[in-house]
Structure 1
Amino acid sequence: MHTDDRREKILQAALEVISIHGFHDSPMSVIASQAQIAMGTIYRCFQNKESLIHAVYQTLEQRFHLAVTKNLPADLPLQERFLHIGRFFMDYCQRAPMDFRFLEQFQNSPFGATYRRDRILGPSGSGFLHGILIEALTEKTLKPLPIEILCALFFGPLICLLRDQDLGFIVLNDSLIDKTVAACWDAIRK
C-alpha cells in the first residue's frame, strides 16, 4: 500500500474514532486497529497523536473551504451570499456528522484554541469569509461590530442547532433551516 493511501486510511480512522469517543478516549492503538494497519505505521506518517489530530482538522477544514467556495456564486448580492453560506454550512454538517463532531471537539479544546478564529477568517484576513465581512462592513450592510462578534452571531446559533440535532433534541427540516439562517442574517445586518 502506498504511503499516501495509508495516510488517508489513518486520517479517516482517526476521524471516525475521535468523532465518537473524543480525543482522550481514542488511543493510537484503537485508531491503528480501525485503519487496519500496524501501530508503527501511524508513527511513520505522523509524529504523534497531536500531529494526527491537527492533520485531521486541516483535512476537514480544506474539504469544507473548497466545497463552500466552489459552490458560492460570486455575483450574488451580499445578503444572498450570507444566506447561501449559512445554508451550505448547515447542509454540509448534516451530510457529514462525523466531520461536524470532530470540528466541534477540536474547536472547543486546547487543540483548537490557536485555530478557532484565525482558521475561520484566515490568517491576516485572507479567509473567504473575511473578505465578504469586510465588503459588507465597508458597504455598511452589517452592524458595526468586530468581525469575530459578527461570526459568532451568525454561526453560533447554527452550530448550537446542529449540536442539538446531533444529540436528538430537535429535528431540522429545510424550512426551519432557511428561517434560522435568515434570523442569523437579521442578527448581524444593519
Structure 2
Amino acid sequence: MDKREQIIMAAMKLLVERGIQATPMSAIAKAAGTGMGTIYNYFATKEDLINAIYLHIKTSEINQTLKNIPADASVKSKFLGYYTSFVTFYLKFPESFTFIDQMQNSPVIKEETKIIGKNALLPVYELIIKGQQDGIIKKYEIESMLNFLGGTITTFVRWRLGNNNIDAENQLEQQLKMVWDAVKD
C-alpha cells in the first residue's frame, strides 16, 4: 500500500467512526503514520480527500465486480453476478459501505466526483440496456432502475451487517430472487 492509499484508508476509518467535523487532518495524519505536509502533497483540502476516498471505493467495488463476471455469461447471470458482487464487496469492507452510505448524498461529494463514480458503473448500465433491448429486463428509465437496485443493496447490506445470526446464504439467495423478479420482463 502506497502512502496515498495509507492516507485514504486511515481517513476513511476515522471519518466513519467520528464524522467529518470531528476528524481533523492532524488526526488523519497521525492515523496514517505520516505528517501533515505529506497529506497536503496529495490532497489540498479535507474535501479533496473525502472525494478521493469516494472514488477509491467506487473504483474498488467495480474492479472486484468486473473480475468476477465471465464476459460470455447470460444477461441474467451477469445481472445476478453484479448484484452479488456489490453485496459481497460491502460485506467484506463494511467501512467502505458505511462511508458511501453516509456520503452518497452529501454536498461534500462534488458533482464531478459523482460523475466519475457513475462512469465506473458503465458496464452495469450497458448490461441493463442490453437486457432491455433483448426483452429480458423491464424497460424502466435507467436512473430509476439503478436507484431501485442501489436501494435494495444498501438496505440488504445494512440489515446483514446488523444481523450476524441469520442464514446468510439463504438470505442472499432470496434477495437475488426478489430483485430479479422485480426487474425481469
2:53 aligned partner? 56
Does the alignment pair 1:164 with 2:159? yes
- Structure 1 pair 145–92 and aligned structure 2 pair: CA distance change class (3 A): same
TM-score of the superposed pair, with normalisation by structure 1: 0.86
Once the two structures are TM-superposed, the CA of residue 114 in structure 1 deviates from its matched residue by: 2.6
Equivalent in 167, 171, 181 of residue 176 of structure 2: 181
Taking the aligned partners of 2:154 and 2:2, their CA distance within structure 1 comes to 32
The Cα of 1:165 is off from its aligned counterpart by: 3.0
CA shift in 2, pair 1:108/1:83, >3 Å:
same
Deviations 1:9-40 (A, max 9, x none): 21111111112222222221111111122222
> TM-score normalised to the size of structure 2?
0.88
Taking the aligned partners of 2:118 and 2:32, their CA distance within structure 1 comes to 33
1:112 deviates by 3.5
Distance 1:140 1:18 in 2: 44
Change (3 A) 1:105 1:115: farther
- Of 83, 86, 111, which aligns to 1:86? 83
TM-aligned CA distance change 1:143 to 1:118, over 3 Å: farther
**CA 1:179 to 1:136, structure 2 compared with 1: closer, same or farther past 3 Å?**
same
Q: Is the 8 A contact 1:153 1:184 kept in 2?
A: no
| Alpha-carbon spacing, 1:41–1:108, altered in 2? closer, same or farther (3 Å) | same
Q: Distance in 2 between matches of 1:22 and 1:184?
A: 32
- 1:135: how far off? 0.2
AA of the residue aligned to 2:146: C
Q: What runs of 5+ residues in structure 1 fail to find an aligned partner?
A: none
* RMSD, aligned CA: 2.4
* Paired residue secondary structure (1:141): coil
Asked if structure 2 preserves the Cα contact closer than 8 Å seen for 1:10 and 1:42, the reply is yes
Q: Match of 1:144, as an amino acid?
A: K
Cα gap change, 1:19 to 1:178, in 2 (>3 Å) = same
Gaps of 5+ in 2: none
Give secondary structure in 2 for the equivalent of 1:82. Answer: helix
What is the identity, as a one-letter code, of the residue corresponding to 1:69?
L
Q: 2:98 maps to what in 1?
A: 101
Question: Looking at both structures, which has the greater relative contact order when contacts are Cα pairs under 8 Å and sequence separation is at least 6?
Answer: 2
